[in-house]
Amino acid sequence: MATVEITVRGHVQGVGFRWALRAEAERLGVRGWVRNRRDGAVEARVSGAPAAVDALVAWAHTGPPLAHVERVEVTELPDAEDGEGFEIRESA
């Protein structure tokens, strides 16, 4: 299992980024959460098979069609239990 925190910067709010990321996470079979941040970024914590986590990180570099990703920051974390499924959380 791999667990990472992803912070995506650019024009990533108001373009369906959280919903698209959740759909991609569910397609890949990873668990975790995603939320908007007040600084304009989108933040996610993702746990799953290393190849699936890597695929979601790669997807985040592009995001949904209306997004304009400028930078993706990835921090590896100790394996964490993030529950079942993938949720959209309230902004932080």
Catalytic residues: 18, 36
Nearest to 13 by CA among 46, 44, 38: 38
| Region label for 23, one of left (φ > 0), alpha (ψ between -120 and 50) or beta (otherwise) | alpha
Q: Is residue 56 within 8 Å of residue 22, measured between CB atoms?
A: no
